[in-house]
Structure 1
Amino acid sequence: MQFTIKNMTEKYAIEVLCWKYERPYNFYNQVLTSHAIMELTGKKYYTVFDRYDVLVGFFCVGAPAQVPAGYPYGAYKEDCVDIGLGMKPAFTGRGLGLLFFSAILDFVSESHVGLDIRLTVATFNKRAIRLYEKAGFVQQAKFQSEQTEFITMLKRSHC
């Protein structure tokens, strides 16, 4: 499957903010507010479309991908490019994860040559952790927020 990556727009920010995931992934559900729209359109957020121009997911790069609760634990002390991502609920669990994630990794690697890539994931999200490990990520720091436990995962650059 071929994917196209575009900058986030207000239209797609609203769509993303309205996605609803089933338990236990409902942890990732967001609330549609003007502040949330500004966050998604004013920072380094991108959309991912399939070959039919259907929105499949989104991702962000840099500080927006970090979980602030990890700062006191030193989870982000290494110089890396952080990514965060979400797939449209209708597409999850259908075997598209690796292709979707690979498209994001290719995009990020091309624009951040030589930097290791790091992501943060809730420890209960075993499905995502398996996907990230398949893509070559290894678990690093573990930390607790008020709501859940997280781990950072790292993929070393080959440059």
Structure 2
Amino acid sequence: MELYISKMTESYATEILSWSYAPPYDFYNNELSQEGLEELLNNQYLAVIDQYENLIGFYCIGQSAQVPKGNEFGVYERRMIDIGLGVRPDLMGKGFGSGIFRFILEKIHETTNLSTYRLTVAKFNKRAIRLYENFGFKVENEFYTERAEFITMISGN
């Protein structure tokens, strides 16, 4: 599968907000709403597409990749690049994760000058945590919200 980056469009954003993940990943399901569309179209999100322009996933960097409640726990005080991402539900668990994540990291590295990256991931998401560990990310902090427990993982300096 060849991967490319595309500007987030309203069509891609609508598709992402309509994705339906099976439990326990249904935690990541969203509702199609104006607020959700505005968030995805805020210029911090990019679409990951294949050679046929099929939407494969998305990513964002910066504040959009953070869980706001984490600020109360001081988990975002260190300056680094926060990364958030999602993969189309039907591609999960089929061995595409490493290739997609490697591609996203390469694209971020090409466009930024910091070498320290941070991810925030729900603590129950063992599959994602294992993937990130395979790329050298290590758990840095834990915090909780009303909905879930989270960990931050960092890679780099």
> Normalising by structure 2, what TM-score?
0.97
Asked if the contact 2:119–2:152 (Cα under 8 Å) also holds between the matched residues in 1, the reply is: yes
Asked whether the 8 Å contact 2:46–2:59 carries over to 1, the reply is yes
The answer to whether residue 114 in structure 2 is matched with residue 114 in structure 1 is: yes
1:1-159 residue pairs with structure 2 within 5 A? 1-156=1-156
Paired AA for residue 87 in structure 2: M
- Greater CA deviation, 7-16 or 105-114? 105-114
Alpha-carbon distance in structure 2 between the residues aligned to 1:109 and 1:153 = 17
Query: Aligned partners of 1:97 and 1:134: how far apart in 2?
Result: 11
**Which one-letter code corresponds to 1:113 in the other structure?**
N
- TM-fit CA distance, 1:72: 1.3
Letter in 2 for 1:52: Y
Letter in 2 for 1:76: Y
Post-superposition offset of 1:73 = 1.0
Contact kept? 2:80, 2:114, Cα under 8 Å = no
> Following the alignment from structure 1 to structure 2, what is the Cα–Cα distance between the partners of residues 89 and 34?
22
Alignment size in residue pairs: 157
3-state SS of paired residue (1:26): helix
State how far apart, in whole Å, the 2-side matches of 1:51 and 1:10 are: 20
User: Matches of 1:72 and 1:46 in 2, distance apart?
Assistant: 28
Q: Distance in 2 between matches of 1:60 and 1:144?
A: 22
Contact 1:43–1:64 under 8 Å retained in 2: no
How big is each residue's C-alpha offset from its partner over 1:80-138, in whole Å with a ceiling of 9 and x where there is no partner?
01010000001100000000000100011111123311110000000000000011111
Under a length normalisation based on structure 1, what TM-score does the superposition of the two structures give? 0.95
**Identity of matched residues, %:** 46
Gaps of 5+ in 2: none
Aligned-partner residue type, residue 99 of structure 1 = G
Give, as a single letter, the amino acid of the residue that structure 2 aligns with 1:111: T
4+ aligned runs moved over 4 Å, structure 1: none
Classify the secondary structure of the residue corresponding to 2:94.
coil
Q: Distance in 1 between matches of 2:147 and 2:103?
A: 30
